[in-house]
Each structure stands twice: as C-alpha cells, then as structure tokens.
Amino acid sequence: MLHKRVISGLLFLPVFYLVAWKLPPLYFTGLVLAAVAVGLHEFYRMAQARGARPQVAVGMMLGVFTVIEFYHPLLPHLGSFFSVTALLFAALAARLFSPRPVEGALEDAASTLLGVFYVGMLFAFQVVIRTGADGRQWLVFLYFIIWASDIGAYSIGVPFGRHRLYEKVSPKKSIEGLVGALAASAGMALVCRAWFMPPIDAGEAVGLALVLAAAGTVGDLVESLFKRSAGIKDSGGIIPGHGGILDRMDSMLFAAPVLYYYLKMR
C-alpha cells in the first residue's frame, strides 16, 4: 500500500508543477473541474449507500458551475449571493419536478445540495487562490503544507500512535500523529518561506501552517464521518494507494477556504 502511495505521488508531482506553477490559471481551473466531477460522483455514491437518491446529474452541473463562478463570475454586478441563491433554487426545483415519489424528497434535496457545497464550493477556493496576487506561490504553499501534514501524521502516527484522536470517527488517527502533522507542517513552512514564498515573517509562516494543518485534520475527520456513516472504507479507487479524490483531497477542502480568508484579511 505504501509503495502505491509513493508512486501515485511521484506521478502527480510533475503534473501539478506544470498546471499550478507554469501554466495560466485557466489550466488549473480545468484540473479542479475534473476533480469536482469525480469528487461529486464519489460523494453521491456515499449518499446512495445511505439510502438517499440525490439528483446526480443536477448536482454535477451545479458543482461545475460553482467552480466556473469562482473563476470568473458570470454576473458580478448582482453580488456573490446571486450564485448561491441560483444553486439553491435549481437543486430544489429539480427535485420538485422530478418523477420520483414525494417520499424521500428531503433527503434527496439535502444530499444534492450538500454535495454541491461540500465538493464544488470548497474545491473552488483553490481556483480563487490561484487567480489572486502571488497565487501560484500561495497555492503551492497550501499543497506543500497539507502534504507535509499527511506525511508527518503517517510517519509518527503509525509507529508511535497510542492515544486516539477521535476514535468514534477515525479509530486509526492518534494524538501522536497530529503532533507529527503539525511539526512537519511547521518545518515545511520554513522551507517554503526560504524557497519561493512572497515576503512573510517566519513566525507568520509557521503559525499559518499550523492553522492550515489543523483545518486539514478537521477536513479529514469530516470525510471519515461521511464514510463511516455510509459504511465504506474509501470514497473511490481512482488513485492507487489513496482511494478516491475525496480521500486524497479531504484535508484540502477545509484548508483552502482558511488560506483564502487569511489572504483576504492579511
């Protein structure tokens, strides 16, 4: 399993470097759109395992629309709430006029909308980061911090983990693993600061990395909550050694919005 994870990571690195660093933001947006489509398929599969019947096609279209709206608002003069309102109306109207029975409508509509916001919207924050000032540096910083967090948690948690972090959701995650994740993230922040980051104090870089790693851990636990609720081990199998897109990107879903709003307030 470990060698598959390493191979998958090595194969992804040159693609990520090309799309996130060398090419214009439009190409990264295309990569995110593909990830959203796969991630929504995985999420709706989990919802179906729980007995819900989400509007899969509608949800995927709305998820893709969300990413496009984040990349380039179609009607910016109407304000940011317009797209959210339109998504809500579209999802509810799709269930209202579907030929399905009335029974289960609440669960169907709720799971459809949750997929759009959990997968589509949270993924889309990476697009906004990439299109912002010093976007490629901040985006790569985000990925490096989350990757370091994952490696630190695995390297320390597997051999030394004795105290469970949140056993009812994720029995294998440990407090020792969390300490390893935070330490690795702090170290990576200093490397990034010296290597390619825009001007930032060492203390600020480390503090931001710790917050992102903590947010990523919460994102990881949220996806574990969904999987345990659905009774499945992995969200999918598209990435050898990692599982599905959501298995690999669950931490990023929570960390990216945190970085985006940090940059807005900075």
> Domains of the chain: which residue ranges?
2-265
Evaluate if residue 5 carries a pLDDT over 60: no
Read off the pLDDT of each residue in 230-237 and give the average, rounded to a whole number.
Answer: 84
Q: How far, in Å, are 54, 101, 155, 172 from residue 177 at the CA level?
A: 35, 47, 8, 9
Q: Which of 3-17, 39-53, 246-260 has the lowest mean pLDDT?
A: 3-17
Mean predicted confidence (pLDDT) in 112-123: 95
Chain centre to alpha carbon of residue 137: 18
| CB of 41 closer than 8 Å to CB of 64 | no
Secondary structure class of 236 (helix, strand, coil): coil
Give the residue-averaged pLDDT of 21-50: 94
Instruction: Using pLDDT thresholds of 50, 70 and 90, give the confidence band for residue 240.
Output: low
The DSSP bridge partners found for residue 127 are none
**pLDDT for 166:** 86
Give the per-residue pLDDT at 227.
Answer: 92
- As given in the structure block, the two tokens for residue 198 are 């825009």
pLDDT at 104 (0 to 100): 87
Q: What is the pLDDT of residues 68-82, one digit of tens each?
A: 999 988 878 877 678
Spatial CA neighbour of 221 closest among 186, 257, 172: 172
Nearest to 256 by CA among 223, 211, 224: 211
| pLDDT higher than threshold 80 for residue 12 | no
Task: Give the global pTM.
Answer: 0.91
The pLDDT assigned to 1 comes to 46
Q: Exposed, middle or buried by CB within 10 Å (0-12, 13-18, 19+), for 159?
A: exposed
Contact 24, 227 (CB under 8 A): no
Adjacent-strand bridge partners of 243: 239
Contact 216, 255 (CB under 8 A): yes
Looking up tokens 């996806």 gives 223
Confidence of residue 2 (pLDDT cuts 50, 70, 90): very low
Which stretches of the chain are assigned E, i.e. beta strand? 164-166, 170-174
Identity at 63, one-letter amino acid code: G
Phi first, then psi: what are they for 172, rounded to 5°?
-90, -20
Interhelix angle 245-265/122-131, nearest 10 degrees: 50
Segment 173-185 mean pLDDT: 93
